């Protein structure tokens, strides 16, 4: 292992850069966005992770062994807590686990026998402090005002779980709309849009989608409203007043109201369908339930459903 010892600083930098890449991939949500999330002092963990790896890179360049070992030991303690958090809630984030694995590799790569005592102290201290200041979220929680209406009177129930801030969800929306429109207007399905509040400002957008539907519950308006709200996300609007101004400029009417009963109903759906990522589609028919995860997979599943119903109609 002499080669590893001679090149451990370079290995640290390479592994840290890979870990940063993993965090970036998590932030843009390559395929589906898990609702497992957390923050430290109000800062999302992915940014904390990137900052931590930047410190590791700097200490490796400067060859500051003592500070490097302290940092990696503290990081190892944090990862132990985060893995325990995921095990406790039986909800796992592959990005988080891979990132933690990278950190642990660096921890063992840099650990020396004469530093084990200090490492244990740092790990224990960071684990305790992190448990105090960490704020984690597993189950999406709706504000009392949120509501997603249903459309169509078909016997097949389709529940579509999305988030306006989820990139795969936005990519899917325009492609899936024509399929949903045909299925709803032929009364082949009963479609329920469920905006799943994963990101910081998701609940604000979900609430205003509800307000729009309260002004006029109409499927065509629902499709338009979702498109307009996606446009607001792309404009990086996160303020309530600015969102209202944006909707007014787009001639989209909305009417605020209290929707606590619907809040309870939506949470029942979340628990029943065990939603842990977006986009997700649940298709219920003949007392059977099919759960589809990922934009392309959802489009394909709904297209198969449409073709199947068309064949039955021709018989």
- Is domain 2-137 in CATH 1.20.1440.130, yes or no? yes
Per-residue pLDDT averaged across 127-140, rounded? Answer: 77
> Which of 173-177, 261-265, 307-311 has the lowest average pLDDT?
261-265
> Which fold would CATH assign to domain 150-314?
Glutaredoxin (3.40.30)
pLDDT tens per residue across span 195-240: 888 888 988 998 899 889 989 999 999 999 999 999 999 999 999 9
Sequence spans of domains, the chain: 2-137, 150-314
SS3 string of the chain?
CHHHHHCHHHHHHHHHHHHHHHHHHHHHCCCCEECCEEEECCEEHHHHHHHHHHHHHHHHHHCCHHHHHHHHHHHHHHHHHHHHHHHHHCCCCHHHHHHHHHHHHHHHHHCCHHHHHHHHHHHHHHHHHHHHHEEEECCCCCCCCCCCCEECCCCEEEEEEECCCCHHHHHHHHHHHHHHHHHHHCCCEEEEEEECCCCCCHHHHHHHHHHHHHHCCCHHHHHHHHHHHHHHHHCCCCCHHHHHHHHHHCCCCCCCCCCHHHHHHHHHHHHHHCCCEECEEEEEECCEEEEEECHHHHHHHHHHHHHHHHHHHHC
pLDDT tens by residue, 40-90: 777 888 888 899 999 999 999 999 989 999 999 999 999 999 888 888 777
């Amino acid at each position: 292992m002499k080669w590893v010892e001679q090149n451990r600083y370079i290995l640290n930098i390479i592994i840290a850069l890979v870990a940063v890449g993993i965090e970036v991939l998590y932030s843009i949500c390559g395929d589906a966005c898990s609702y497992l999330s957390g923050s430290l002092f109000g800062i999302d963990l992915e940014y904390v992770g990137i900052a931590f790896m930047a410190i590791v890179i700097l200490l490796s360049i400067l060859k500051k062994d003592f500070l490097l070992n302290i940092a990696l030991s503290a990081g190892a303690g944090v990862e132990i807590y985060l893995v325990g958090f995921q095990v406790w809630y039986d909800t796992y984030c592959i990005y988080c686990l891979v990132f933690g694995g990278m950190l642990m590799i660096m921890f063992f790569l840099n650990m020396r026998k004469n530093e084990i005592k200090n490492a244990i102290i740092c790990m224990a201290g960071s684990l305790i402090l992190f448990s105090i200041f960490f704020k984690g979220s597993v189950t999406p929680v709706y504000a009392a005002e949120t509501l997603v209406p249903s459309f169509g009177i078909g016997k097949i129930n389709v529940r579509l779980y999305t988030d306006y801030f989820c990139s795969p969800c936005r990519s899917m929306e325009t492609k899936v709309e024509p399929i949903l429109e045909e299925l709803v207007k032929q009364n082949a399905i009963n479609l329920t849009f469920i905006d799943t509040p994963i990101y910081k400002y998701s609940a604000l957008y979900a609430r205003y989608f509800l307000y729009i539907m309260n002004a006029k519950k109409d499927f065509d308006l629902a499709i338009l409203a979702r498109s307009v709200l996606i446009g607001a996300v792309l404009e990086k609007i996160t303020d309530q007043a600015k969102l209202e101004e944006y909707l007014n400029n787009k001639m989209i009417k909305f009417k605020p109201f209290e929707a606590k009963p619907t809040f309870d109903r939506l949470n029942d759906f979340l628990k029943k369908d065990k939603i842990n990522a977006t986009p997700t589609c649940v298709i219920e028919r003949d007392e059977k339930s099919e759960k589809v995860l990922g934009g392309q997979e959802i489009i394909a599943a709904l297209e198969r459903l449409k073709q199947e119903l068309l064949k039955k109609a021709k018989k």
